[in-house]
C-alpha cells in the first residue's frame, strides 16, 4: 500500500486562530472598535448621541467602504474622496438649482459615481499601466474638477437629504446610507461575480487563463466603488449642507487605512466591506475619544498609523499560512 502522501490534519491552536482570522478578517477591527466604543461611552458626558455620531461617521465609513472593491480586485482607488466631493458639488451646484434636487438626484449621483469609477478602470486596462499611477493621476484631476465646479464654498439652506443625517422616523438616517452598500454587496453573493472579483484579486494570471474577463471584472469593481462613493456624496451633502472643494482630498488615505485596518488585504483577493467599515469606525472613535480626553490632536495621526501597522501585522502575518507570511 502506498503511504498517505499528504496528511491533511489541520488541528492545533495556531492554525485555528489563523483560520478564524482569515474567515473573519475584520475580527481585529471589531474588537478594537468595540473597546473604543465602550471607552467613548464612558468618557462622553451628556450622552453619546447615536444618530448624530452615525451621521458624522457616515462619509468616512462610506469612503472606506467605497475604496474596498477596487482593492479586493487587486487594484487601488485614490479617487474615492474627491469623487464623494464631486458628487456633493454636482448636487449642490447643478442639480439643486435646476430643480433636480429631489429623488431624481439619487440615480443621477449614483450613476455619476459609477461612471467615474468605470472610466478609471477602463483607463487602467487600456493604458496598461499600474492602477496606482492611473488612480493617482485621476485623484488630482478630480480635485481640479471639484474646484472648477465649486470654486468657492457654497451652502444650501435645506434639502430632503438632511434626513440622511437626522432620522427617518425612529431610524437614524445614516443607517440607510451606510446600509445600502451592504445590501448591494450581499445581493452580489448570489451571482458568480463577487467570487470572481476575489479570484482576480488573488491571482490575476490564473483568472485570465481560466477564461475570466479580467478587464470587465475590474471595471465592475471600480464602478461599484464609484457607486458607493456616490452614496457617500449624498451622506456628506445631508450632513454639511454645503460643498467645499478645498476638502476634496480629506478622506483619501484615511479611507485606505480603514480598509487595511479592517483586515482587507491591500494586495487584493481577501477581505470585505464590513471590515472596512469597522476599520473606519476605529479611526472615527479613536479621534473622538482622544478629543474627549483632550489629547493633543497631533497624536491622532500617529495613532492611526500605529493601528494600521498593528492591523496589517495581525491580518497579514497571523492570518496567512506560515509560508506566505514570510
Partner 1 sequence: MRERSSSEPLRRPRCARIRGRAGAVSGSDASSASGEPAQVLVRVGGLAKSFGATQALRDCSFELRAGEVHALVGENGSGKSTLVKILSGVHAPDAGSVELAGEPVRLRNPHAAQDAGIVTVFQEVLVAEARSVLANVWLGADGLLRSQLSAREKRARAGAVLEELLADPLDLNCPVEELSLRDRQACGIARALLREPRILILDEATSALDVDTRDRLFAIVGRLSRQGTGVIFITHRMDEIGEIGDRITVMRSGRSVAVLESGGWTPRELVRLMTGSEVLEELAREEAASFANRRGEPVLSVRGLTLREGRRPIDVEVRAGELVGIAGLEGQGQTEFLEAIWGERTVPGEVVRHKQGRDVVVRSPAQAAANDIAYVPRERRVDSLFGWMSIRENFGMPTLQKDTRFGILRPASTRRRLQEYVDRLGIVLGDAEDSIATLSGGNQQKVVVARWLAAGPKVLLLNDPTRGVDVNAKRDLYALLTSLASEGLAVVMISTEVDEHLELMDRVLVFREHELFRELERSSLSREALVAAFFGAGEEDEDATGALAEI
Residue 192 interacts with partner 1 (CB under 8 A): yes or no: yes
Helix 27-43 to helix 273-292 angle (10° resolution) is 30
Nearer to partner 1, 117 or 172 (CB): 117
List the one residue from 13, 103, 191, 293 that touches partner 1 (CB under 8 A). Answer: 191
Residue 140 interacts with partner 1 (CB under 8 A): yes or no: no
Contact 235, 58 (CB under 8 A): yes
The span from the CA of 306 to the CA of 286, in Å, is 12
Cell of residue 179, nine digits? 446600509
Contact 67, 255 (CB under 8 A): yes
Residue 155 interacts with partner 1 (CB under 8 A): yes or no: no
The span from the CA of 209 to the CA of 214, in Å, is 10
The span from the CA of 41 to the CA of 285, in Å, is 10
Residue 9 interacts with partner 1 (CB under 8 A): yes or no: no
List the one residue from 211, 293, 294, 296 that touches partner 1 (CB under 8 A). Answer: 211
Residue 32 interacts with partner 1 (CB under 8 A): yes or no: no
The span from the CA of 10 to the CA of 259, in Å, is 29
Nearer to partner 1, 43 or 202 (CB): 202
Q: Which of residues 239-298 bind partner 1 (CB under 8 A)?
A: 265, 269-270
Contact 135, 67 (CB under 8 A): no
Nearer to partner 1, 65 or 200 (CB): 200
Nearer to partner 1, 233 or 269 (CB): 269
Residue 291-320 contact track with partner 1, rule CB under 8 A, x = bound: -----------------------------x
User: Least CB distance from residue 43 to partner 1, whole Å?
Assistant: 39
CA-closest candidate to residue 80, choices 92, 95, 64: 64
List the one residue from 106, 193, 247, 303 that touches partner 1 (CB under 8 A). Answer: 193
Amino acid at each position: 500500500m502506498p503511504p498517505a502522501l499528504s496528511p491533511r490534519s489541520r488541528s492545533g491552536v495556531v492554525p485555528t486562530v489563523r483560520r478564524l482570522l482569515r474567515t473573519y478578517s475584520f475580527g481585529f477591527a471589531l474588537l478594537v472598535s468595540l473597546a473604543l466604543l465602550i471607552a467613548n461611552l464612558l468618557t462622553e458626558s451628556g450622552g453619546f448621541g447615536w444618530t448624530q455620531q452615525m451621521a458624522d461617521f457616515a462619509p468616512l465609513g462610506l469612503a472606506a467602504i467605497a475604496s474596498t472593491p477596487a482593492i479586493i480586485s487587486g487594484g487601488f482607488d485614490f479617487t474615492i474622496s474627491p469623487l464623494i466631493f464631486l458628487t456633493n458639488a454636482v448636487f449642490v451646484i447643478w442639480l439643486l438649482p435646476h430643480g433636480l434636487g429631489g429623488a431624481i438626484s439619487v440615480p443621477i449621483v449614483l450613476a455619476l459615481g459609477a461612471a467615474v469609477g468605470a472610466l478609471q478602470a477602463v483607463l487602467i486596462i487600456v493604458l496598461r499601466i499600474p492602477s496606482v499611477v492611473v488612480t493617482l493621476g485621476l485623484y488630482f484631476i478630480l480635485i481640479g474638477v471639484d474646484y472648477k465646479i465649486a470654486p468657492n464654498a457654497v451652502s444650501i439652506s435645506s434639502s430632503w437629504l438632511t434626513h440622511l443625517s437626522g432620522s427617518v422616523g425612529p431610524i437614524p438616517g445614516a443607517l440607510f446610507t451606510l446600509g445600502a452598500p451592504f445590501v448591494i454587496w450581499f445581493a452580489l453573493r448570489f451571482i458568480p461575480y463577487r467570487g470572481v472579483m476575489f479570484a482576480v484579486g488573488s491571482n490575476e494570471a490564473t483568472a485570465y487563463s481560466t477564461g475570466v474577463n479580467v478587464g470587465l471584472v475590474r471595471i465592475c469593481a471600480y464602478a461599484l466603488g464609484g457607486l458607493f462613493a456616490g452614496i457617500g456624496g449624498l451622506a456628506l451633502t445631508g450632513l454639511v449642507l454645503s460643498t467645499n472643494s478645498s476638502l476634496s482630498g480629506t478622506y483619501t488615505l484615511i479611507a485606505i487605512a480603514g480598509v487595511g485596518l479592517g483586515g482587507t488585504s491591500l494586495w487584493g483577493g481577501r477581505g470585505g466591506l464590513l471590515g472596512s467599515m469597522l476599520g473606519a469606525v476605529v479611526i472615527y472613535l479613536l479621534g473622538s475619544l482622544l478629543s474627549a480626553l483632550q489629547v493633543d490632536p497631533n497624536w491622532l495621526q500617529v495613532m492611526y498609523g500605529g493601528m494600521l501597522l498593528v492591523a496589517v501585522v495581525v491580518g497579514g502575518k497571523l492570518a496567512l499560512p506560515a509560508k506566505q507570511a514570510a
